[in-house]
């Protein structure tokens, strides 16, 4: 399931602050609440096959179901407990090796369980449960729910992690794998999609219905079941003899071909990489109008937000193409990691999500080498390291996760991005071919079954004969990350110390944590020597190299610090001695040290200036993204912000002008580089030429999107929106309400939250909770407004004053995103106000988000205290130098 990218993508429209701040998580962090009670099922009954017939009534938003579950009873019992939520039971009978019995149903709503008690003991052996039940097509974007588009209704599903139980009674835990045979009785004007292929389509049972029977699935977990009903239309193709379809509502099917091309490439790539052919005969990718997550990896029937699957390749920005390609590749990787082999329990969900995140960039890099995906990975890693440098971070393998609330909070940056970065570290240590062999061994050993973290690292250890188990156990079980501090190399060795790193200098670890991990030294332009650092290691073999750099390739999961002479040499040779990925890593390390009070903000800005002429978009993006945080959190007066803006213009405007006007011959990276420089010059440089150009491009782009280079067009639109007037606001609102292009539609909506004019801020906030914005998006709009410094207080006051309206728009995950958004404040008074409000206005499943918000505010207060005077001094020195010049 892809959920972490949602808010990060929304923030990419708002000045790039996700990377800039680097302390606001893109998704929630899990901390088990005290006193949480386990809700695990007994293991004395094991499902073998479900035969499920469902009849949804879209007009009344209800459904009925008839289900037969073949089970193995492990020991004599009188009752069977499984999961069920928001279902009503008409009858339960069991057909064991004995007389037919009718079960009495007792419900435990808090545990989301149903227990069937029978008058006579059920003998050990096989039996069949037959259950008749009804349910509702809810509006909560989970379970079996209702979606609407263009006057039509759709019945769709989202089951991960614990919501299959809302659609049918089941053993809703990942280790209870079984076969699922689904039949859907639907209106004859609609079609249906499920995990298997349609094997029969017959009229009836009523004249207005037809019955679609689907082939049985492989053995899989209940959260991977999917069924969708409505007027879907599809674009079809094949890859490696597998039928692939990309489906959408009729008015948006024209935007499916791009995703189809990605899916065809990815399936062939995965067949080859994993050495195991895709297990099904068909693969459907379906865009759903109302969808809370980014996408969901249902076996053979992957579901998506429309913006994560649909686009017009002729008018799409580079970023939009990359996003669709990455999300498609991510979910398809799950067909092996997650569907074929599934984690035994949710505390190892990283085995699913970390692998899919790691594989998505590998696949897209192979398909589009011109996108320079390894640099994108390096940039993302900096944000992940900063996320992991918070006191309340957790280990990759969660210590506890039993209740649905606990499990839902595991889908965070640690599960997705830290796990992916750790896999990258291990792959670099072993070499790609050896690592691939270990992956194949792991998948082969556990196909159609479940696995643990130890299963994976043991497979890699046995294949490579290297201590992968020690490395991965250290990185997977320890929370946080180390900072490695290197002395000056001498006599072929270099001293090294390791310590847990925190962004907040006042934070300390409860114990003296130490890691075992490979440290790779740069030995040439693209060569490296890797040494294993252990808990007791005090020095490592140092290479004979002209430049000492201790994270060759930027693939190590750690922060680095150097002796003064070695660091200065790195800055002096940053463009000639380091590869682009290494420049990103060096800049990330230095910015993290600034946040931790170990370096000054001026040190960082000097490094950014040294990178100004870099021709790689991701290097410039990584170098410039902290300017947003500096502007918003450190520049305390208009004079300081003006001085910072003047430095940005002097330093980066010449580099922007060198790129010239957009050309059809520009590479994707050059287009992105131009947009990155345009954005920083417009937002923080307040460059009058760029601002005027933003307004001109915006009107041209809105009138005819194909007449403007898309990446620059959307960037110009975002810059123009910040200072935009009511006319531009009306234009964007009209695009959102009338366009069928998902990229344009969502982009216009997000930009409504960027206007600075107080009257337009209020319009945007009112529109977000008016019911005209889907509830999958409303909280994101409010969170963007909370993140913008100019609208933050206005947004917070509006939320408090209109809480009843706001609350009705919040789904489970979106409520947490709203609470998390309050972490943008930077004063003790605002912190106390946030705490006080949510103490009396509880948001379900948002207690952890509130803890993070408060932590972020406290971190900003400390950061400002440490670095604002140093920024003032540095800006003064820059001004004096410029005056002298």
Taking residues 858-873, report their average pLDDT.
95
Residue-level pLDDT at 16 = 43
Cβ contacts of 272 within 8 Å, gap of 6 or more: none
Q: Please provide the DSSP assignment of 147-196 as one string.
A: EEETTEEEEEEE-TTTTGGGTS-B--STT--BEEEEEEEEETT-EEEESS
**What is the overall mean pLDDT for the chain?**
93
**Would the pLDDT of 38 be above 80?**
no
- CA dist 341 and 446 (Å) reads 6
* Helix, strand, coil % in the chain, rounded to nearest 5: 45, 20, 30
Q: Taking 60 as the threshold, does the pLDDT of residue 33 lie above it?
A: no
β-bridge partners, 83: 113, 170
- Please report, for residues 408, 785, 817, 823, 831, the alpha-carbon distance to residue 799 in angstroms, rounded to integers and kept in the order given: 25, 11, 14, 14, 15
pLDDT at 3: 59
Q: Where is mean pLDDT largest: 90-104, 500-514, 715-729?
A: 715-729
Mean pLDDT of 711-736: 97
Look at residue 4 in the predicted model and tell me its pLDDT: 52
Q: Mean pLDDT check: name the lowest of 271-285, 294-308, 838-852.
A: 838-852
For residue 10, the model assigns a pLDDT of 47
Q: Which of 67, 213, 331, 381 is catalytic?
A: 331
Residue 20 scores a pLDDT above 50 = no
**For this structure, is 639 an active site residue?**
no
pLDDT of residue 881: 67
Contacts of 109 (CB under 8 A, 6+ apart): 85
Q: Is the pLDDT of residue 26 over 70?
A: no
pLDDT tens digits, residue range 141-162?
Answer: 999 999 999 999 999 999 999 9
pLDDT at residue 99 greater than cutoff 90: no
Residues in Cβ contact with 695 at an 8 Å cutoff, skipping those fewer than 6 apart: 720
- Stretch (H or E) spanning 623: helix 617-624
The per-residue pLDDT for 23 is 34
Q: How many residues does the chain have?
A: 885
Give the pLDDT of residue 524.
Answer: 83
Name which of 15-19, 773-777, 825-829 the model is least confident about: 15-19
pLDDT exceeding 90 applies to what percent of the chain? 88
How far is residue 173's CA from residue 457's CA, in Å, rounded to a whole number?
24
Residue 247 has pLDDT above 70, yes or no: yes
Q: Which residues of 149-168 are buried (b: 16+ CB within 10 A; e: fewer)?
A: beebbbbbbbbbbbbbbbbb
What whole-number distance in Å separates Cα of residue 436 and Cα of residue 431? 9
Does the pLDDT of residue 863 top 70, yes or no?
Answer: yes
Q: What is the pLDDT of residues 351-387, one digit of tens each?
A: 999 999 999 999 999 999 999 999 999 999 999 999 9
Whether the predicted pLDDT of 592 surpasses 80:
yes
Euclidean distance between the first and the last CA atom of the chain, given in angstroms as a whole number: 55
Residue 31 pLDDT more than 60? no
Q: Mind giving me the DSSP string for 500-536?
A: E--SSTT---SS-----EEEEEE-SSS-EEEEEE-TT
**To the nearest 10°, the Cα dihedral for 763, 768, 770, 772?**
110
Beta bridge partners, 539, equal 495
Distance CA 566, CA 548 (A): 7
Nearest to 265 by CA among 326, 200, 191: 326
- Model confidence over 407-453: pLDDT tens digits? 888 888 999 999 999 999 999 999 999 999 999 999 999 999 999 99
pLDDT of residue 883: 62
Residue reference for tokens 């965070």:
412
Q: Does residue 47 contact residue 165 with C-beta atoms inside 8 Å?
A: no
pTM here is 0.95
Mean pLDDT of 184-209: 98
């Amino acid at each position: 399931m892809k959920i972490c990218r949602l808010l990060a993508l929304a923030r990419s429209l708002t000045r790039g602050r996700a990377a800039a701040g680097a302390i606001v998580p893109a998704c929630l962090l899990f901390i088990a609440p005290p006193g949480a009670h386990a809700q695990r099922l007994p293991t004395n009954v094991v499902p073998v096959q479900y035969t499920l017939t469902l009849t949804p009534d879209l007009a009344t938003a209800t459904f009925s179901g008839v289900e037969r579950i073949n089970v193995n009873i492990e020991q004599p019992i009188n009752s069977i407990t499984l999961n069920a939520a928001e279902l009503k039971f008409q009858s339960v009978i069991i057909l064991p090796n004995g007389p037919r019995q009718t079960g009495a149903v007792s419900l435990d709503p808090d545990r989301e369980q149903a227990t069937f008690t029978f008058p006579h003991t059920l003998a050990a052996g096989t039996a069949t449960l037959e259950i008749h039940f009804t349910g509702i097509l809810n509006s909560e974007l989970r379970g079996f729910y209702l979606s609407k588009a263009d006057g039509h209704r759709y019945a769709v599903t989202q089951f991960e992690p614990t919501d299959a139980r809302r659609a049918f009674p089941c053993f809703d835990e990942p280790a209870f794998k079984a076969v699922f045979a689904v039949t859907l009785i639907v209106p004859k004007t609609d079609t249906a999609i499920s995990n298997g292929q349609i094997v029969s389509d017959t009229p009836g049972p009523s004249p207005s219905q037809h019955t679609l029977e689907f082939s049985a699935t492989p053995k899989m977990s209940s959260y991977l079941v999917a069924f969708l009903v409505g007027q879907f239309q599809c674009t079809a193709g094949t890859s490696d003899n597998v039928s692939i379809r990309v489906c959408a509502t009729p008015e948006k099917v024209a935007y499916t071909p791009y995703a189809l091309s990605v899916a065809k490439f990815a399936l062939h790539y995965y067949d080859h990489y994993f050495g195991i052919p895709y297990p099904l005969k068909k693969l459907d990718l379906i865009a759903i109008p109302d969808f809370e997550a980014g996408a969901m990896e249902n076996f053979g029937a992957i579901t998506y937000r429309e913006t994560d699957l649909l686009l017009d390749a002729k008018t799409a920005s580079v970023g939009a193409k990359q996003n669709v390609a990455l999300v498609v590749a991510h979910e398809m990787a799950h067909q092996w990691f997650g569907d074929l082999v599934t984690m035994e329990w949710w505390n190892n969900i990283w085995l699913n999500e970390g692998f899919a995140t790691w594989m998505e960039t590998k696949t897209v890099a192979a398909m589009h080498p011109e996108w320079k995906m390894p640099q994108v990975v390096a940039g993302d890693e900096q944000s992940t390291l900063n996320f992991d440098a918070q006191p309340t971070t957790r280990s990759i393998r969660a210590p506890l996760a039993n209740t649905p609330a606990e499990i839902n909070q595991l889908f965070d940056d640690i599960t997705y991005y830290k796990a992916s970065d750790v896999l990258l570290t291990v792959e670099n240590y072993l070499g790609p071919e050896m690592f691939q062999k270990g992956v194949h061994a792991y998948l082969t050993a556990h196909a159609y079954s479940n696995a643990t973290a130890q299963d994976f690292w043991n497979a890699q250890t046995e294949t490579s004969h290297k201590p992968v188990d020690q490395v991965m156990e250290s990185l997977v079980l320890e929370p946080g990350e180390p900072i490695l501090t290197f002395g000056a190399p001498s006599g072929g060795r270099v001293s090294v110390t390791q310590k847990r790193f925190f962004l907040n200098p006042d934070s300390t670890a409860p114990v003296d944590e130490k890691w075992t991990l490979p440290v790779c030294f740069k030995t040439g332009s693209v060569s490296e020597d890797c040494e294993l650092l252990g808990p007791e290691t005090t020095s490592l073999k140092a290479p004979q190299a002209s430049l000492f750099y201790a994270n060759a390739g930027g693939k190590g999961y750690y922060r680095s610090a150097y002796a003064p002479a070695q660091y200065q040499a790195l800055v002096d040779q940053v463009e000639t001695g380091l590869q682009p990925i290494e420049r990103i890593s060096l800049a990330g390390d230095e910015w993290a040290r600034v946040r931790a009070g170990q370096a000054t903000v001026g040190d960082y800005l000097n490094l950014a200036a040294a990178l100004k002429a870099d021709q790689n978009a991701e290097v410039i993006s990584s170098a410039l993204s902290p300017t947003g945080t500096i502007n918003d959190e450190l520049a305390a007066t208009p004079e300081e912000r003006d001085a910072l803006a003047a430095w940005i213009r002097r330093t980066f405007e010449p580099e922007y002008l060198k790129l010239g006007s957009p050309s059809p011959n520009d590479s994707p990276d050059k287009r992105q580089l131009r947009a990155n420089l345009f954005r920083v010059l417009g937002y923080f440089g307040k460059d009058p030429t760029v601002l005027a150009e933003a307004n001109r491009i915006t009107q041209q782009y809105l009138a005819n999107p194909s007449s403007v280079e898309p990446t620059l067009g959307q960037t110009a639109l975002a810059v123009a929106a910040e200072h935009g007037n009511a006319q531009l606001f009306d234009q964007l609102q009209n695009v959102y309400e009338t366009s069928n292009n998902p990229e344009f539609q969502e982009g216009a909506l997000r930009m409504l939250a960027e206007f600075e004019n107080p009257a337009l801020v209020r319009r945007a906030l009112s529109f977000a909770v008016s019911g005209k914005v889907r509830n999958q998006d409303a909280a994101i709009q409010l969170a963007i407004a909370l993140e913008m410094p100019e609208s933050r207080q206005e947004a917070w006051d509006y939320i408090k004053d209109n809480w009843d309206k706001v609350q009705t728009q919040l789904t489970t995950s979106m409520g947490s995103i709203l609470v998390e958004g309050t972490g943008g404040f930077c004063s003790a008074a605002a912190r106390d106000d946030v705490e006080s409000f949510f103490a009396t206005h509880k948001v379900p499943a948002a207690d952890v988000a509130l803890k993070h918000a408060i932590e972020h505010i406290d971190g900003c207060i400390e950061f400002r205290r440490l670095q604002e005077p140093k920024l003032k001094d540095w800006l003064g020195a820059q001004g004096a130098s410029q005056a002298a010049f």
